[in-house]
Chain A
Amino acid sequence: MNTRNEARRRPDANRVEDRVAKSVEQALGRWGGASRRDFLKASGLFVFGLTTVGAAAGRQGSEDASWPDPDFLQLDSWLVVHEDGRVTFYVGKTDGGQGVGTATQQMMCDELDVAFDQATVVMGRTDRTVDQGGSGGSDAIERDAMVGRRIAAEGRRVLLEMASERLDAPVEELAVRDGVVSLRRDPSRTVTYGELIGGRRFDVALTGANVNQTTGVASVKPVQDLKLVGQSIPRYDIPAKVDGSFEWAVDVRLPGMVHARNVRPPFAGATLTDVDESSVRDLPGFLRLVRKGNYLAVVCEREEQAIEAAERLVTTWDKPTAAPFPASDDLFDFMRSAEWAPPTDGRMAGETHGDPDGALANAATVVEAGYDVPFQGHTAIGPAHALADPSDGQLTIYTNDMKPYSHRTGIAEFLGMPPEKVRVIWMEGPQLYGRTAADDAGFEAAYLAREMGRPVRVQWMRHEETAWDTKGPAFAIDMRGGLDRDGNVVALDYRGRIANYAHVGYNQARTVLIAQLMGLRPERPSPGGARGPDDMYHVPNRREETSAVRLPLAFETPLRTGNLRDPNGPQTTFANESFVDELAVAAGADPVEFRLRLLRAATEDDEAFRRARSIAVVEAAAEAYGWDARPSPGPVGSGSVLTGRGIAYAYRQRTTVAVIADVEVNRDTGRVWVRRMVCAHDCGLVINPDGLENTVQGNLLHGISRTLYEEVRFDGEKVTSVDWRSHPTLTHRDSPEQIEVVVVNGDPNPDRPDLRPYGAGEPSHRPVPAAIANAIHDATGVRMRRLPLRPERVLEALAE
């Protein structure tokens, strides 16, 4: 498919429906009171647009504005066919830039038998799309788009029955293409979807115990019959993002809107004792200070005025009596000396197979190593932001919250409002990766809008975001392994310490930052915890145990943990896959062959064929790379630039990945450059190959950034890494010059008609740190066990 032409033909096709809907929202906001109804009357098109979408139909009076939940058991909640034959799909997911919307549209168009360009997807609006939870866990395609397929298949079934009546022929004798139904024996007799139902409701009930199980009676097509699935259809959102016309959450402007900026505690756990309003009262545009507990914000007419007022405001804070946390330099000592307190619940509790201690005692060789990964931030390119409109006793929040549904219920609870009075309209923003699962700015905007009685836009500043966003937790992991005389692994022992006690990265009324600062607390903090690494290695004696470490300050801390892309995966896999490499070194084995031996040692596969698919990705990566078998390290060169290669493998849920990194290490400067990366990737059925490749490339590079540069730094009282200088990230200069993504399908029966798609948003992120550290060892003979691998740390290690 010629991506260039396809995309150029439709530069303005970006979500026409959504844009109409947005202008309706904005117009409604402008037309307060009774005039709202007049506006609706005056604009037949918009009334039509709203009322055909069952969910919004109830909102015609202004005084009792209300946003009930769309009913997931009604076909009309998911699918609207317009008179002109265009189709709108309503999907309760959000897209963080991985092309989930486009892929979902492909899958649903395929089942419904409409052309891709005939359809539009509306996502993540609590008043119009059913609650599918928004984003998280790389499940949009694996789980939710499969629901979409069933819904679209049901829509097709119903439309074909209507056509059967209209054309007076049994359904079996009908064919459908691009929304036009025809008679097989007489293709001149046709009827379109638009003619059959355009502008009217289906009124067809669906079944399912919960939204994920929603289904009609129709079954989905066999994979082999899908036509759009598997094509690299260009993303529908890209043209408008490239020509500047795209409307982001940051772009929404409402009449009467004012601007707020937060004023944060200068020290973690500080208590606000005094606010000197006179320091800002006379500034132009100043409207109000809003304070509750340790939460403080300034509200001004104009944005730059709010920024200046927040900077100038004189405040007094008391430091907490005890240090909130150790300094980042002392963190791992602190974590290792903490009491070992394994969680007792479910999957976090750890697992033991065989007798690891006994096997280690009898092993021919025992290897031990510790690995450290610091706190890492999300540090989105755009800081948190949201706009809340409190008109008519309702509340509408425009935000890039990745989970708009929990945002809505969280805000309703936080403000004591009935949920149906609150709606959240997700619009795109900077990447999500877990940050906007705790949409602090949305809660703040909602609170301030109610206080001010007018629309308030909240925008965090850069230093605020980098210091106070949710963090991926720090890990200190100790590994022990035993080899027998033939170099076989007889025991593997993983003990991880994770600093995520009170893990609070969610849209919860009692844990978002504003709630904490106001003094709200959950009854019991989350005990924290994490599973161990995920691999399919067969080791006869194996233990995985994790203990959550409690930092002194659990709340009102800038070290609050939340889900950061592939939560815990890169950290645990850094330890596990570095250590497997260390065992391979001890066994004198090639790292690829050593891994394959461990994978082949298992004899049984699981329901997702993960063992077979793990072997397939390791082999495919090695082949694509051109791997020649030899033990690591290779012969270490004599020049200033040393080169090496390293592999790491993991699975996440049902997706398997292997990554090979080629690095250059400059021993004079300590600079590490990942020059080439190969990723073999198996996520089952691929919906959009180019979209998958883009997503995997982003995962790999984000992984490089976390491996080489990213670390939250703090002294004993505050975070000190607060901008792009103190908290560096991968840039253009250090980006690889070659990336190869090899799409594998290692399913023993890859042609089966029900082949499923698995998630791809996170898995390939996971093995990157270990692959790079292993490559550095291959180049230099030096093992790096503490992330990030910044030049000064590399130089230090090389000097030892």
Chain B
Amino acid sequence: MNEITLRVNGETHSLDVDPSTPLLYVLRNDLGLRGPRFGCGVAQCGTCTVLMDGRAVRSCILPVSRSTGEIRTLEGLPEDGELHPVQQAWIAEQAPQCGFCQNGQILTAAALLDSNPNPTDEEIRDGMDRVLCRCMTYYRIQAAVRRTANAMAGRETDERGAAAVSGREDDR
């Protein structure tokens, strides 16, 4: 028996799986979660992202045996029944196309804003850079990150996507 204990979205799970199993497959196939998805399996795309102790990590290469922190998936992002501000901004900007990559985009943005609530455009580009989108929704995602930062600071975002102007002129 390989007893593995995972803490996911506030619940504790005990599972009998090979400890080297990547977290992704346990989340999806044993816990039935849909947020993290397989995109590459080699930590290059971000589709499988989860938050572990608040950091965005790639569950496709993380063995369950090392998944010892507090894990949050996209499903666990809302608090008290309210969507996370990032999720709200994503809907306001109508950011997704197919949406397959958006789990990684949303969670990476949440972690980015957690550590840097007021990023410049350059910091958004850099912070999000390793999360790929083949529908190429980058423009709207970046606008949604700005919108979230505004919302969290109590600022209005007047126009959809309007914040997408040069980082160099950024006065925030």
Contact = CB atoms under 8 A, between A and B. Distances in A.
A381 B101 contact: yes
A3 B147 CA distance: 14
A684 interface: no
Contacts of B132: 381, 724, 729, 731
B50 to A, nearest CB: 11
A246 B98 CA distance: 11
B59 interface: no
B159 to A, nearest CB: 12
Given A7-B92, A8-B91, A698 B99 contact: no
A619 interface: no
Nearest to A240: B99
B98 A96 contact: yes
Nearest to A465: B40
A737 interface: yes
A462 interface: yes
Interface residues of B, number: 65
Contacts of B164: 737-739
Contacts of A429: 98, 100
Interface in B29-49: 29, 32-35, 37-42, 44-45, 47
Given A241-B96, A701-B138, A701-B139, A382 B121 contact: no
B103 interface: yes
Contacts of A238: 90-91, 94-96, 99
B83 interface: yes
Contacts of B97: 96-98, 431, 694-695, 698
B13 interface: no
A402 to B, nearest CB: 11
Contacts of B165: 737-738
Interface residues on A, range: 35 or more
Given A243-B75, A430-B100, A735-B142, A251 B91 contact: no
Contacts of B103: 244
Contact of A431 (B22, B35, B98, B167): B98
A253 B31 CA distance: 12
Interface in A142-176: none
A381 B88 contact: no
A641 to B, nearest CB: 13
Interface in B80-95: 83, 87-88, 90-92, 94-95
A508 interface: no
Nearest to B44: A724
A302 B91 CA distance: 35
A51 to B, nearest CB: 30
B58 to A, nearest CB: 12
B77 interface: yes
A739 B159 CA distance: 14
B66 interface: no
Contact of A725 (B44, B77, B126, B137): B44
Contacts of B136: 697-698, 700-702, 704-705, 730, 735
B139 A248 contact: no
Nearest to B21: A304
Contact of B135 (A307, A691, A698, A731): A698
Contacts of A691: 94
A434 interface: no
Interface in B133-171: 133-142, 160, 164-167
Contact of B37 (A97, A302, A382, A735): A382
Task: Name the 6 nearest CB pairs between A and B, nearest first.
Answer: A97-B98, A701-B136, A97-B97, A241-B99, A244-B74, A735-B138
Given A244-B74, A302-B25, 5 more contacts: A98-B97, A251-B28, A430-B101, A461-B41, A462-B42
Interface of B: 18, 21-22, 25, 28-29, 32-35, 37-42, 44-45, 47, 73-75, 77-78, 83, 87-88, 90-92, 94-103, 106, 121, 124-126, 128-142, 160, 164-167
